[in-house]
Amino acid sequence: MDFRDELPVDHRLARVYRVGAGLCGAALLVFGCLGLADGLAFFSTSGEPVAGLSSNGLLSLISIVTAGALIAGAVIGGNIASTVNIVVGTLFVLSGFVNLALLDSGANVLSFRIPNVIFSFAMGLLIATFGMYGRVSAKLPHDNPYWRHRHPVTAPAGHRPPAAAATLGPRRPDGPAA
């Protein structure tokens, strides 16, 4: 079984995934570049303000790498962009929880403060929402490619996934497959 065979391709939702990954990646890239341009100490636990958030060189570098992953997902597009958004969004939320626990300790190597934690939660939820849009819901419309893929028997004949269409055969107008 190939992962690419399990997900629908070339659908209109891909634009949402690409735009979300691109916009969030661009914001993180700007934040990271501003931090590196300020010449921040790499492992400072006190941090310096950059765009309203506390940052150090390590956080700036991580922001640039993360932005690169999101922008690469946006360039590739499709299900890859969606999956990258979901993974990166989840990692942002987890990072918020971990760094919340590390506030005011010597282990706070990313020099997080409360605004950074709130930003991490908000950005993580935003990125993950872009990735899950139209993909994860109990009430997807019947013309949604993910719904059609999950319900190959009830999907109209012209909208079945290729594997399901070959397995089920042609549909009779009055009932199930012939």
Q: Rounded distance, CA 168 to CA 130, Å?
A: 33
Length of the chain: 178
pTM of the model: 0.72
Q: Rounded distance, CA 116 to CA 32, Å?
A: 13
Question: What is the distance of C-alpha 63 from the center of its chain?
Answer: 15
pLDDT tens sequence across 92-107: 999 999 999 998 888 8
Q: What is the mean pLDDT of the chain?
A: 78
Q: Rounded distance, CA 22 to CA 19, Å?
A: 5
pLDDT tens sequence across 14-67: 777 888 888 999 999 999 999 888 877 787 777 787 888 888 889 889 999 999
Query: Residue 53 — φ and ψ, nearest 5°?
Result: -120, 155
